[in-house]
Amino acid sequence: MKWLAALALGAIVGFLVPLIFGGEAGFWLHSWTKFGTIRPLEGSPGLLFSIPLFLGSAVAFRLFFNWHSS
């Protein structure tokens, strides 16, 4: 897997997981998971982006699919 594809999948995961867990009103911003979570658009209600989740999942996708293809 190329880095660009891994980063794209990581960005999708970085946006979707905080939204699945309730966005701003849910548990995501009221526990330890708020560390590294930003609001990319201040006027947007509930849109969150988790930087640690983005980077971690991108690296995990890259490692897994490179290992799996060899």
pLDDT tens-digit profile, the chain (70 residues)? 789 999 999 999 999 999 998 888 888 888 888 899 988 887 777 789 999 999 999 999 999 988 877 6
Query: How many domains, the chain?
Result: 1
Q: 37 near 51, Cβ under 8 Å?
A: yes
Contacts 24+ apart (CB under 8 A), 39-43: none
What does the alpha-carbon distance between residue 59 and residue 13 come to, in Å, rounded to a whole number? 12
What global pTM score does this model have? 0.83
Q: Measuring CA to CA, which residue among 53, 56, 68 is closest to residue 1?
A: 68
- Each residue's pLDDT tens digit, 14-23: 999 999 988 8
Which residues form the domain of 54? 3-69
